């Protein structure tokens, strides 16, 4: 059921926009997508003053409780931005308020970008979803499957395909999400070091997989391997592929694998623990989690997805291709044992697919999140995208606000 839209209190919008634009506002030459939706427009998401105050209080409580230094919540669509709330500072020692130009380590929010880049190459006939990975990364030939109980290995019955990588049904895992398995322990020891994307993929290809490709869902290094596939298919490095196919057409000049040193003052940092120094260039251009971005830059990507693959006259994907990416891929023959959402939702070609009503077969949003606290969702049915940006690494449990709470509160406010 679509939300009943009600006018948004303009004073709140204007206060948020003044803060977001007055801090570090000079770096973009392109027109901004962070323009306010005014109440005279037809779509302002139905969030009233009291509901917005509740959201802002919960965000501020996370800062006051020293869970995070600051955060940004943004809800927009093709008409502009209807919610832009900022709280706190860029870091625990920072005097700079969180703003649209704060730079975040977006970690796995890199994955949707890689998936879109892959599908642009599918459109161009440079690769196919049915291609075996060994066509691009030879080490994946003669694939073996490790028995999770005994540790014994046997030849795989099938090759990993490009589609298997997009759907996380490849059999590839990640040590962080499977630390107690024998294969996870081998990942931890044998994938160490600063490798290039292709070297990293080659090492993974020489290891067994956790299950027969196509038989189960498991989060892991699938998208890192897709990054290496992009390099091989394009004959150039991953940063160049993404610049040519996505970043330059969208004007995403702030989305990079490392941050120039003269922009260090804009990097958001966590209170608890440490995150890697993202100003230091590395050999590894991680398609699974290596990008940094600002809220405004990622808005451009989210706006393109909501608009069916096009942004400001620049078509990144055909609408039919994006529709294909949003088709459910966890069929009855695919195990959900390791699926993050259990029996709820599904997975497409690079996106989560989560129901937005109690009907599991009804409308759903799509997107993904980063382990450092960031989230993107795109809801075509209700015509909006949501971005939540924070940097969090460890610390006390029970934060009064995070990406999950942001999503819940926004949907609840829209539907009241």
Two tokens, residue 91:
């870091």
Helix (H, G, I), strand (E, B) or coil at 349: coil
Q: Which residues of the chain have pLDDT under 50?
A: 1-16, 18, 21, 23-26, 28-31, 39-43
**Architecture category of domain 10-103+291-336+345-415 in CATH:** 3-Layer(aba) Sandwich (3.40)
Name residue 368's beta-bridge partners: 376
Rounded CA gap, 74 and 82, in Å?
Answer: 8
Rounded CA gap, 224 and 176, in Å?
Answer: 14
Contact 106, 370 (CB under 8 A): yes
Q: pLDDT value at position 148?
A: 87
Q: pLDDT value at position 361?
A: 86
Q: Taking the model in full, what pTM does it have?
A: 0.92
Two tokens, residue 119:
């599908």
Secondary structure element (H or E) that encloses residue 10, with its range: helix 10-22
CA neighbor of 133 nearest in space, from 252, 226, 57: 226
Rounded CA gap, 398 and 76, in Å?
Answer: 28
Measured CA to CA in angstroms, residue 6 lies from 46, 70, 81, 84, 220 at distances of 4, 28, 15, 17, 41
> Chain centroid to CA 109: how far?
2
The predicted-structure confidence for 154-195, as pLDDT tens digits, reads as follows: 999 999 999 999 999 999 999 988 888 899 999 999 999 999
Two tokens, residue 311:
């942004």
Rounded CA gap, 387 and 109, in Å?
Answer: 11
């Amino acid at each position: 059921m679509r939300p009943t839209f009600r006018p948004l209190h303009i004073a709140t919008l204007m206060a948020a926009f003044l803060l977001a634009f007055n801090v570090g506002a000079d770096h973009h030459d392109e027109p901004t997508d962070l323009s306010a939706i005014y109440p005279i427009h037809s779509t302002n998401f139905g969030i009233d003053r009291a509901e917005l105050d509740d959201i802002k209080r919960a965000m501020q409580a996370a800062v006051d409780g020293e869970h995070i230094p600051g955060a940004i919540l943004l809800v927009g669509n093709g008409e502009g931005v209807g919610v832009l709330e900022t709280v706190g500072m860029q870091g625990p020692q920072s005097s700079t308020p969180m703003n649209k130009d704060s730079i975040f380590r977006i970690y796995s929010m890199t994955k949707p970008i890689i998936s879109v880049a892959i599908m642009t190459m599918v459109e161009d006939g440079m690769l196919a979803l049915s291609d075996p990975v060994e066509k691009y990364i030879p080490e994946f030939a003669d694939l073996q499957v490790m028995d999770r109980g005994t540790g014994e290995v046997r030849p795989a019955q099938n090759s990993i395909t490009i589609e298997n990588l997009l759907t996380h049904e490849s059999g590839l895992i990640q040590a962080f999400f499977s630390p107690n398995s024998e294969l996870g322990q081998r990942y931890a020891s044998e994938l160490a070091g600063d490798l290039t994307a292709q070297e990293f993929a080659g090492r993974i290809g020489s290891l067994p997989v956790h299950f027969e490709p196509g038989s189960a869902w498991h989060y892991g290094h699938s998208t890192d391997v897709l990054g290496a596939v992009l390099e091989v298919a394009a004959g150039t490095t991953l940063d160049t592929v993404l610049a040519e196919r996505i970043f330059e057409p969208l004007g995403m000049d702030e989305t990079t694998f490392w941050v120039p040193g003269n922009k260090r003052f804009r990097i958001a940092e966590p209170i608890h623990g440490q995150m890697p120094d993202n100003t230091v260039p590395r050999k590894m251009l991680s398609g699974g989690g290596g990008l940094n971005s600002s809220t405004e830059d990622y808005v451009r990507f989210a706006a393109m997805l909501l608009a069916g693959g096009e942004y400001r006259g620049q078509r990144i994907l055909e609408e039919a291709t994006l529709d294909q990416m949003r088709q459910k891929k966890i069929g009855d023959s695919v195990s959900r044992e390791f699926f993050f959402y259990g029996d709820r939702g599904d997975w497409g070609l690079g996106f989560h697919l989560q129901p937005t009503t109690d009907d599991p077969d009804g409308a759903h949003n799509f997107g993904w999140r980063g382990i450092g606290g960031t989230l993107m969702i795109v809801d075509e049915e209700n015509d909006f995208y949501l971005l939540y940006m924070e940097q969090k690494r460890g610390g006390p449990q029970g934060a009064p606000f995070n990406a999950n709470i942001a999503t819940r509160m926004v949907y609840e406010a829209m539907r009241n």
